[in-house]
Chains A and B, each alone.
Chain A
Amino acid sequence: MSSKSSIISQIKNLNMEEKPLPEIPDFEVAANLEEAFAQSLAGNKGQVVSKDELEALIAASDFKKIYSSSPLFDAYSNCELPAHPAEFADLDLAILEGQVASAENGAIWLDESNLGIRAIPFITSHLVILIRGEAIVGNMHEAYQKIGSAHSGFGAFIAGPSKTADIEQSLVVGAHGAMSLRVVIL
């Protein structure tokens, strides 16, 4: 007997009585979604910035390699998508578009259509995500409703920069992935 049939038959033989699957109700959300989102993001060590602030920041930085998947920031983009993601190991800044953001926790949904290659938001030293104001929803339930089940091979809720507290509970930003996350609300 294969392991699959063995596992399935062991469960079947228990003749368990089916328990009901609940429906998920609507819950109250923050009155000012943009404000709540900015606050949540700050709690995750991310930061909401204006388009002008971001441009000033790029101008003042010494970022050598910048990739933007957004036409809005085309002018800054100075590299193409590589054949292998490892070639982006020295990427200083990635500017990507997010689809949906949740105000209760600062999480932003991106999928393959936003990424080009899956590794970008993780391998880049610094990450910027652009999100339209009307794409900010109250909570995770609304976010999943908005995303639906449309097929994407990969998608992620990104809520901040890479961080860890594994050394005596001291919070350190920039563990393996992006060392910063800035979000521009359009």
Chain B
Amino acid sequence: MSHPANATAFLKDQSRAKWHDETLWIVRQKRDQTIHAIPEWEKLRDLASQIKEHTLSKLDFYLEELEKNASANGIKVHWAENAEEHNEIVGRILEEKNCKAIVKSKSILTEECHLNPYLESKGIEVVDTDLGERIIQFLKQPPSHIVMPAIHLKKRDISDIFHEKLHTEKGNEDPVYLTHAARLHLRSKFLEAKVAITGVNFAVAETGEFVVCTNEGNADMGVHLADTHIACMGIEKLIPRRKDLGVFLRLLARSATGQSITNYNSHFRSPAPGKELHLILVNNGRTKQLAREKFRNSLKCIRCGACMNTCPIYRRSGGFSYGSTVPGPIGSILSPGIDLKKYSTLPFASTLCGSCSDVCPVKINIHEQLYEWRQEITKAHGTSAKGLSMQLANGIFKSPLAYKLSGKMMRAALKNLPESIIYNPLNVWGKSRNLPETPAESFKDWYKKNRK
């Protein structure tokens, strides 16, 4: 799995890559507009960060508190050490219910656990009900973004697949027409399903409830029509008090898409009469990340996707280039913790510009952690081709004379040498990058001349 190789493939279609970049930047701008309407935005980020850090520092206590209160509410709580166990728990419940078809709203955790293929191998039909997720499910693709799963697709792609799967008019690319076709198709699935699966945005220890946020209302359509609701959450999705939701609901949608709030924010506390409510708490490597002090606070993430929308690399390389369930900057600090070898290129898929940390609603120091992972990876894998040129640069910067001479040489060389030499395959840094205009003289020379 190599990010540069995958990014190169994405960039082959220049016009699509440009469109992808611009689309995400618009989402980032929408975020900027809505947050500027809130004078206390930075205070809210501080609060959210502190609440999450506090929760993580007492995670064992809060998990037991959640279990105690949720059980008292009639929720059946399950614990899963890893993805396999999570899938088995879901599979067991479905077997008990003799259930052969389920509806599922968006859950990045179930993506992480590869729940869909597991259930399909048991002959169970899984219908993802978020429109974007349904589209990529038809195309047999993973989500390329955690909030906008089909952000990489054009209207034409969606029109084509809907024509094939839902028999919509060939060539009709009208989003309203296509959305309404999906509405009809999914309505029949909602009305038939006996079991509905959702993710969890927040679980509240104090009240033993959990909250699911959507704009489409698909999570609610699923669970209120089904007899059994299974909710799956990573153990880091926990907050202490109900009133903490006020902080997080103000931050989440504004950071994600620039809306003031998602249109549906559903609080599940007890099953409806005669129905069942299950909550699965999943570890799958989270306690390992918690043990890494430098990377601990990556677990504060509320999965808003703001870091992806702002990231110059994500925007120009696409979500698939990361090869991980969670892409973008946050994915690049979470994934190496899961498999350092497989994801060794991700921390380098960054300019370290810090924009991700600037927009993060829970103030994760993402760019610093990217830098930290680079150190870990270099320790584990030795230097890369890029590392050698960096060592050379290090030698030049160490000696004032070497720096002066090499500056002079480079200014002459860049003016006169053919591009093929400057951009040779050995120079990894030169890939997709142009050098700036070379100045006629160095600042030092200019200063000597102009000093009064």
Contact = CB atoms under 8 A, between A and B. Distances in A.
State yes or no: do A and B come from one complex.
yes
Interface of A: 2-4, 6-8, 10-12, 14, 16-22, 24-25, 27-28, 40, 43-44, 85-86, 89, 104-107, 117-119, 121-123, 139-141, 143-145, 149, 151-170, 172, 174-178
B54 A119 contact: no
A85 B225 contact: yes
A7 B224 contact: no
Given A166-B148, A177-B220, A21 B54 contact: yes
Nearest to B158: A167
Nearest to B259: A44
A70 B155 CA distance: 42
B60 A11 contact: yes
B131 A175 contact: yes
A159 B261 contact: yes
Contacts, number: 243
A134 to B, nearest CB: 20
Given A140-B249, A168-B154, A176-B129, A154 B266 contact: yes
B245 interface: yes
A140 B250 contact: yes
Interface stretch (B182-190, B322-330, B406-414): B182-190
Contact of A156 (B57, B244, B267, B283): B267
Contacts of B215: 162-165, 175
B404 to A, nearest CB: 49
Nearest to A10: B287
B118 interface: no
A123 B220 CA distance: 9
B57 A18 contact: yes
B427 interface: no
B291 interface: yes
B27 A169 contact: yes
A24 B27 contact: no
A20 B260 contact: no
Contacts of B224: 85, 117-119, 122-123
Contacts of B35: none
A43 B260 contact: yes
A169 B148 CA distance: 9
Contact of B271 (A153, A172, A174, A176): A153
Interface stretch (B235-243, B354-362, B367-375, B429-437): B235-243
B246 A24 contact: yes
16 contacts: A7-B283, A18-B58, A22-B47, A43-B259, A107-B261, A119-B224, A122-B217, A122-B220, A141-B246, A156-B220, A156-B264, A159-B260, A166-B135, A167-B131, A167-B175, A168-B158
B80 interface: yes
A14 B287 CA distance: 9
Contacts of A166: 130-132, 135, 148-150, 179
A155 B269 contact: yes
A132 B428 CA distance: 65
